[in-house]
Structure 1
Amino acid sequence: MFKNYLKTAYRTLRKNVGFTAINVFGLALGLATCMLIVFYVVDELSYDKYNTKADRIYRANMQIKFGGIDQTYASSPSPLGLVFKKDYPEVENFCRFFQRGGFNVKKGTQTIHEDRMVYVDSTMFDVFTLPMTAGDPKHALVEPNTVVITETIAKRYFNTTQAVGKTFTFDEKLLYKVTGVIKDLPKQSHFHYDFFLSMTSKEESRENAWFSNNFNTYVLLKPGANVKQFEAKLPELMRKNAGPQLQDILHLNFDSFERAGNRYQLSLMPLLDIHLKSNLMSELDHNGNIQYVYIFGAVAIFILLIACVNFMNLSTARSANRAREVGVRKVLGSARKYLIAQFLSESMMVTFVATVIAVAAAYMLLPMFNNIAGKNIELNAASLIWLVPSLLITVFVIGFLAGSYPAFFLSGFQPIEVLKGKLSSGFKGGMLRSSLVVFQFFISIVLIIGTLVIYN
């Protein structure tokens, strides 16, 4: 029976090549555009999720209000991480980043300037998920003047990923020994470095300076730790540790400092919120913006709605001309459920073909889209895990919605009235198609106006 539906649907669509082509390619264009935008949104939302402990990692932010300065920083004092680990049972571990800037790196007779360098604690591998292909992550960054590099850097300078034990010369005088090689950082990371230098090489990391704020501090909480309760302890932490230095510098106690309207406060930000919800001073890299995700998500929905409404409108218009066919089928004994199945099968077939074309178009346009969006989105096995089910659901939903109204409406006609032509003429002038056209124009105008406003 199902095979017969498909065969009949194919013959019907083939007889109306022009209509079928317009319907298929119109829907395919909308789906392809929507798909590219969805790729962008999914990519933005996937930042830092490669970390297996991502839900327990937080960054310490520092809000400073004093002397005309009112700013929140992504950095914090040097000793903060050590105090976290020592005095607070909720903390499993911590890791600090110190942005050094670049070094001139010696490669044979060449000197190459490398900017993507950072000092980190040896605990980085306990906090973040950075698979090491050579070396021991527990001891890699313990000694001073040691460095962990990415596979790309290892191949660039040593022509092999087995670079442990080799030496770099920085700025013609500093010797750093390679103690580990890690896989290249995922594109969806809020920091991108190629050289991770041992924090023990940095003297400032050992200073008890509570007003330096030069370190990006990340804390890994223990499973089940109450974040709210832990964060509630931070004011007392600053009062206890930064208070004495405040007294020495400004001759003020912490209470007097805050009563004067000043602020020196810590807060925690979840790791998964950093890329889209944090644009503070001293970020490790340029972040995105959650508003862009909302805007592009809304645009994708609008474009998909336009494509679906156009598909439904054309399907409804064409179905109106098939009222006499329905009447003949009913006279010959066809049950209503079979008529409904026939209309839906035709709609599903058109939607499926349009979806296949849309996938091919999106795949071919992806490199151009990456250039425009500044992304490196790739279709891989991980993408197919969510893409294939989503496309199948799309085919079913759009196909059902587009074919349901004609199917249920036409299949309910009385044969005698259909054959007299009474319902066909009334159907052609129905309110549904007018409403769909108005809806299409409304969304199109909204998108055009929005595009012009954003461009200006």
Structure 2
Amino acid sequence: MFLNYLKIAWRSLLKSKVYTLLNILGLAIGLSCFILISLYVLDELSYDRYHAKADRIYRINSDIRFGDSEMHMAETPDVMGAILKKDYPQVEEYVRLYTNSGSQHLKKGDGYLNEAYVAHADSSFFRVFSFTPLAGDLDKALSSPNSVVLTESMALKYFGTTEVVGRPLQNIRGQVFDITAVIEDMPANGHFRFDFIFSMDNFPYEWGSYLSHNFHTYLLLKEGVGAEDFQPRLDQYIVDHAMPRISQMLNVKTLAELEASGNSLAYSLTPLTEIHLYSDRSSELSPSGNIQYVYIFSAVALFILLIACVNFMNLATARSAGRAREVGIRKVLGSRRGQLVVQFLTEATLMALLAMIIALVLVVMVLPYFNELAAKSLSMELIRQPYFLLFLLMLPFGVGLLAGSYPAFFLSAFRPIQVLKGTLTMGAKGGDFRNVLVVFQFATSIILIIGTMVVYRQLAYIQTKNLGFDKEQVLVVENTWVLENRAAAFKNEVLQMAGVQSGTYSGFLPINGSYRNNQSFSKEAVMNSTSGFNMQRWQIDYDYLNTLGMELVAGRNFSSAFGGDSSAVIINETTAQMLGYEDPIGKKIYQVGDYATGAVNGLEIIGVVRNFHFESMHQQIGPLCMVLNNHSHMASFKVDAAKIPALLSGIEDKWEDMAQGMPFSYRFLDDDFTQMYRAEQQVGQITLIFTALAIVVACLGLFGLSTFIAERRAKEIGIRKVLGASVEGLVQLLSKEFLRLVLIAFLIASPLAWWAMHTWLQDFAYRIDLSWWIFAGAGILALIIALATVSVQALKAATANPVKNLRTE
């Protein structure tokens, strides 16, 4: 019996080739989009789950409010992990990671290579996190000073083999490290990924600080202990260990008194498996994902699949008149309704299976391009996983049942007597349902169009907004600290080159990822809970403001003509407003020099710089000050764009002469700025592509539906033409119903799209307004698309020879 169903289904599909092609193509596009986005979503949800103890690992977060400044950090004091393990039996183990030391320059042959993915870690690192060893004993790998663990790719890069345990590795400062283990490369789906892990024991740091937050600290809690259970211990840690130091510095005795003054300190735990999608704190170890985008892409995938299923329903019900006699004859010959339902569901499932085969081929073809677009490394290996393979096997059957259910029950309900007598009327019910489906398709498409327009407008706003500095044609030469006493000579040599307008040394640039330095300051010489505040403190030279095009709104820049500028400071407008001085020039602020005693150093305000964005536009511009210091961490040069190729060659030659075998590394500031919004760009590009595909799928259905309606009304059109109807009038007649449905879809989609994009924009401190013309433009675009799709068949029907259609009457 089942083979008979398949045979009849196959013949039915071959009989209506256009109908079959439209349905299979629409389903294939919908399924391929669904599979691609499913791979993306599953990868996002899989972060850090490969650790054997992932369900018990938590990271400690810090939330600090001091003055009018708030900090939400992923870092803690160096002492915190050890104290929590000692005081509370719920802590099985702790581990700290330190990454603020920057990159390492490691010797290979006669030169040095710059390695950015490095960290210092406690010896407990491999007892908390799970990585596959290739050589060495991970339990003891970081237990001695000057030890280092390499990944497989780094061992091969430096030594050509993984059998390197016991061999030395030297950095540019002459330190020699003992390689104690080699591990497999860390998986890409982790919130940190290092190539070198150095022992914490050999790291120079002023240990024992309770108020300096510089370490990522992770706790391995015992079985049955969760974040909520442990939270009271974190609160008690503040009372027992942090408050005595805060009291010395701010002259407050209790946590309640600190909070009453408008300040606060709080610690919390984030589960390891939630860090990637749910945390976006300062100093994250890698760019975070966003659970909102997972929801958005999941919804897009589901909607595209539903649009494809809607196409099937629409086309199948539209063909109902053509298959009515088939149903009537089958019923007269003894077929029961259940058998007809199975027959139609078999046809739908067969088409879904064929569409799935095509969809898998499409996924294999486009996956490399999708990976490049989404900055992922997805592979078809995931499909081979049992759970996903089962999902793919069940998907076409689920789609077949979903897409074929209504047509199956609709077609099988025809009465044979009415059908065979020719008295069957389709009634309004089937047409009304088809209209609902068309409205759903275009409402979804309009929402996607509006979403894409808003994302791209926000990105354009970010790119064109006045940032308060000039990011164009700024060449950044990295790692200039290796030049040591040759740094000034290097800068002067570059400044002499044609096309170089100015240059500066600094440790800070106004982009995300540039090293940050939050410090405590006071309005008064004696710091207390009301006069103290936190802000960024940047070290710059005389040429920093000029090179980056920053504008002073009051006072002056640092100058070698003023001998006292070493104890001077330039603040931004946010700081000036926070201080409350009508004229801050000449006033002093006081920097905390010793957190233990609260001792401060006075700095005279000599200038106020116009606010500039030194973090992404997700955050408000916070307080910032700049002090004079020839910090040669990196050099930035304002250059002539037309001379960049020649300049790069010349600068590289100077570098090779002065940098002792260090590779020349550079970047452009505008590229760094663009990278800050990489996630939003990916969302925009992916949404644009899938919006276009959703519209294509919807148009396939609309094209097929208009084709069948034109066929059903062929004789009516012939009569109208004979009676003098114009081609334009007939096209309007056939098109106006669809255009009415698109207008209804627009009215439904607009408020939903407004709510969704308003919610998305709230994540930006600086954002566009949702102008009415965005919605109007999306509606007009949808109307044009629908009109263009329907008009093809409407024009064909209106220009057909009426004699041919009326010949049989």
| Superposition pairs of residues 220-235 of structure 1, within 5 angstroms | 220-235=220-235
Matched, 1:390 2:391: yes
Matched, 1:335 2:336: yes
The letter for the 2-side match of 1:219 is L
Q: Secondary structure at the match of 1:233?
A: helix
Aligned to 2:182: 181
Quickly say closer, same or farther: Cα 1:247–1:179, change in 2 above 3 A: same
Matched, 1:240 2:240: yes
Q: Which moved more, 1:361-370 or 1:413-422?
A: 413-422
Aligned to 1:56: 56
- 1:106/1:172 contact within 8 Å kept: no
Q: Which moved more, 1:443-452 or 1:254-263?
A: 254-263
- 2:61/2:75 contact within 8 Å kept: yes
Aligned to 1:290: 291
- 1:321/1:424 contact within 8 Å kept: no
Distance (Å, rounded) in 2 between the aligned partners of 1:258 and 1:408 = 66
Matched, 1:129 2:130: yes
The letter for the 1-side match of 2:40 is Y
- 2:63/2:71 contact within 8 Å kept: yes
Aligned to 2:68: 68
Distance (Å, rounded) in 1 between the aligned partners of 2:340 and 2:63 = 67
Aligned to 1:320: 321
Quickly say closer, same or farther: Cα 1:382–1:211, change in 2 above 3 A: farther
Aligned to 2:381: 380
Matched, 1:166 2:167: yes
Aligned to 2:440: 439
Distance (Å, rounded) in 1 between the aligned partners of 2:119 and 2:330 = 75
The letter for the 2-side match of 1:242 is A
Q: Which moved more, 1:289-298 or 1:190-199?
A: 289-298
Quickly say closer, same or farther: Cα 1:227–1:450, change in 2 above 3 A: closer
Deviation digits for residues 240-277 of structure 1 (CA, Å, limit 9, x no counterpart)? 11233223333433443333121122111111111011
Alpha-carbon deviation of 1:381? Answer: 5.0
Q: Which moved more, 1:375-384 or 1:157-166?
A: 375-384
The structure that has the greater radius of gyration is 2
Alpha-carbon deviation of 1:153? Answer: 0.3
Distance (Å, rounded) in 1 between the aligned partners of 2:226 and 2:295 = 30
State percent identity of aligned pairs: 48
Q: Between Structure 1 and Structure 2, how many residues are aligned?
A: 455
- 1:106/1:112 contact within 8 Å kept: yes
What TM-score, normalized to structure 1?
0.96
- 1:130/1:183 contact within 8 Å kept: yes
Aligned to 1:84: 84
Q: Which runs of 5+ in 2 are unaligned?
A: 458-809
- 1:165/1:178 contact within 8 Å kept: yes
- 1:306/1:440 contact within 8 Å kept: yes
Distance (Å, rounded) in 2 between the aligned partners of 1:248 and 1:341 = 80
Alpha-carbon deviation of 1:427? Answer: 7.8
Distance (Å, rounded) in 2 between the aligned partners of 1:424 and 1:357 = 37
Quickly say closer, same or farther: Cα 1:439–1:229, change in 2 above 3 A: closer
Alpha-carbon deviation of 1:439? Answer: 1.7
Distance (Å, rounded) in 2 between the aligned partners of 1:109 and 1:291 = 49
The letter for the 2-side match of 1:109 is D
The letter for the 2-side match of 1:297 is S
Distance (Å, rounded) in 2 between the aligned partners of 1:397 and 1:351 = 9
- 1:246/1:254 contact within 8 Å kept: no
Distance (Å, rounded) in 1 between the aligned partners of 2:84 and 2:287 = 27
Q: Secondary structure at the match of 2:380?
A: coil
Aligned to 2:497: none
Alpha-carbon deviation of 1:428? Answer: 9.5
CA RMSD of aligned residues (A): 1.7
Alpha-carbon deviation of 1:425? Answer: 4.5
- 2:155/2:162 contact within 8 Å kept: yes
Aligned to 2:278: 277
| Superposition pairs of residues 111-150 of structure 1, within 5 angstroms | 111-150=112-151
Alpha-carbon deviation of 1:401? Answer: 2.5
- 1:78/1:204 contact within 8 Å kept: no
Alpha-carbon deviation of 1:198? Answer: 0.2
Q: Which moved more, 1:378-387 or 1:21-30?
A: 378-387
- 2:313/2:407 contact within 8 Å kept: no
- 2:317/2:411 contact within 8 Å kept: no
Aligned to 1:311: 312
Q: Secondary structure at the match of 1:137?
A: coil
Matched, 1:4 2:4: yes
Distance (Å, rounded) in 2 between the aligned partners of 1:293 and 1:65 = 31
Distance (Å, rounded) in 2 between the aligned partners of 1:135 and 1:403 = 59
Quickly say closer, same or farther: Cα 1:388–1:80, change in 2 above 3 A: same
Q: Which moved more, 1:17-26 or 1:394-403?
A: 394-403
Deviation digits for residues 203-226 of structure 1 (CA, Å, limit 9, x no counterpart)? 427x21101111000000000124
Q: Which runs of 5+ in 1 are unaligned?
A: none
Q: Secondary structure at the match of 2:205?
A: helix
Higher relative contact order (CA 8 A, sep 6+): 1
Distance (Å, rounded) in 1 between the aligned partners of 2:69 and 2:426 = 73
Deviation digits for residues 166-214 of structure 1 (CA, Å, limit 9, x no counterpart)? 1111114010110011111111000011000001112427x21101111
Deviation digits for residues 31-61 of structure 1 (CA, Å, limit 9, x no counterpart)? 1112211211111111111111111111111
Matched, 1:154 2:161: no
Q: Secondary structure at the match of 2:198?
A: strand
The letter for the 2-side match of 1:285 is S
Deviation digits for residues 118-175 of structure 1 (CA, Å, limit 9, x no counterpart)? 0001101111111211111111001000000100100100111121111111114010
Distance (Å, rounded) in 2 between the aligned partners of 1:347 and 1:183 = 47
Distance (Å, rounded) in 2 between the aligned partners of 1:378 and 1:308 = 27
Aligned to 1:451: 452
Distance (Å, rounded) in 2 between the aligned partners of 1:140 and 1:49 = 23
Distance (Å, rounded) in 1 between the aligned partners of 2:96 and 2:226 = 22
Q: Secondary structure at the match of 1:143?
A: coil
